[in-house]
Each structure stands twice: as structure tokens, then as C-alpha cells.
Amino acid sequence: MDYASNNCEGRARELLAPLTGVCPDSVWENVSTDLDARRREMENKWVNKINNVPKMPLLAAAAIAVISISAWMFFSHRDNTLSASTVSISNISEPKKNTNTIASQQPVVKKDTAVKMLNSLVTDPPAQSLPSQNSSVSLTKVNQPVKNQVVQSNVQNTQMQASKDDKDDGRPILIQHDASDPQVITSDQQPSKGVAIDLGGNDNSAPHATMSPSSAEAGPIQDSTAQ
């Protein structure tokens, strides 16, 4: 025979769901004891951690930290000292601004400029030199005379080389110095031996009186003006 109702699950929920009870004091005593133990454990947590940490890794880490900080301070101090000395030197060597400001600010360019300026001073007349306050402009203008100077010096070198070659042949050397017509007259054009030096600077003196081979062989040079 079934005594329980057919909906005993619903009845069970109705009766048992709001069920409450009275906790005996022993429950709180045990719980509070556990909470106190946990509180003491939390308080001693850091102390135990510090005590249980091995000392050697801590000492090693401290030593490494001290060394690295010391090295950093040393190198940083040395860099500051070097930079300070550099600043003082630059202050001493700084030229006046009214002479050449850009050149003083760019010392590398100043070196090349000085060499070119030297060449230009040799070749150019003083009137062509530009004001030194505008060094960049003077550099560009000076380049052209420098090229001309190089060409002229090459011509002179050629003349000197040709005269050296003539010495080897044992032939007479004619050295013609004419600033307006840098023409080299080699000894091939003058088969006669001997030396004829033309120190005149005029163009109309080109057909120089040269010594004939017969006269050269005959003896000393005769003065034609005497005749």
C-alpha cells in the first residue's frame, strides 16, 4: 500500500528546501580555531619566506647588482668628463666669426679649402681674390684658375721633359720661353748642334738666327751683328 502522496517530490521540496537548523557552538569553535591558524599562517608567511630563502643566490644577486651599478656609474662619469673636455677644446680653437664662419664650423672642409686657396693665390692676381667671409663662393670661383694653373704647369713640365730627352741625344737644346705662346721647339726642328736661348718675349722674334751646321763645326760662334 502506498502511503506517500504521488507528488512526494514536490512535497519534499516544499518541506525540505527552506530547512534551517541551529549550529551548535562546537561548529563555530572549530571554525574559529581554523581561522586563527590561518591568520597566524598569513602573518608568518613573509617571515617564513625570508627565513627559508637560500642565502647564496641572494648574495650573488646583490653582488651582481652592486658591480653593475658601480660600472654604470664609472662609465657614465667618464663619458661626462670626456664630453666636458671636448667642449672646452672646441671653445679654445673656435676662430673668429668675421674671418670665416663656415670654415670654422666645418673643420674638414676648411682643410681642403686652404689647399685650394693656396693654389689660387699662386696663380691668381690679388685683385681676383674674393672676400674671405664668403668662403663657399670663393671656393667655386677659385676652381677655374686652379685648372688653368694645372694646364700651364703641365705645359712647362712637357717642355722640361723634352729638354731632358734632348740631353740624352746629345743634341743642342732650344729653350724658348714665351708666355704668350707656350710652344715647344724640339731639337728635331733644329738639327744643328749647340744651344740657342731666346729670351725675348715678342712674337716677331720667331725666326731666330741659328747656327748653321757648317759654322758650328767650323768653330766658335761668330757675332753676326759685328758684320
Site residues (vs another protein, CB under 8 A): 1-5, 8-13, 15-24, 26-28, 30-32, 34-35, 38-39, 42
Residue closer to another protein by CB (options 29, 165) is: 29
The distance of closest approach from Cβ of residue 19 to another protein in the complex, given in angstroms and rounded to an integer, is 4
Non-local CB neighbours of 198 within 8 Å, separated by 6+ positions: 174, 175, 176, 177, 178, 205, 208
Residue closer to another protein by CB (options 31, 155) is: 31
Residue closer to another protein by CB (options 45, 208) is: 45
Among candidate residues 189, 185, 192, the one with its CA nearest the CA of residue 171: 192
The distance of closest approach from Cβ of residue 48 to another protein in the complex, given in angstroms and rounded to an integer, is 17
Residue closer to another protein by CB (options 35, 59) is: 35
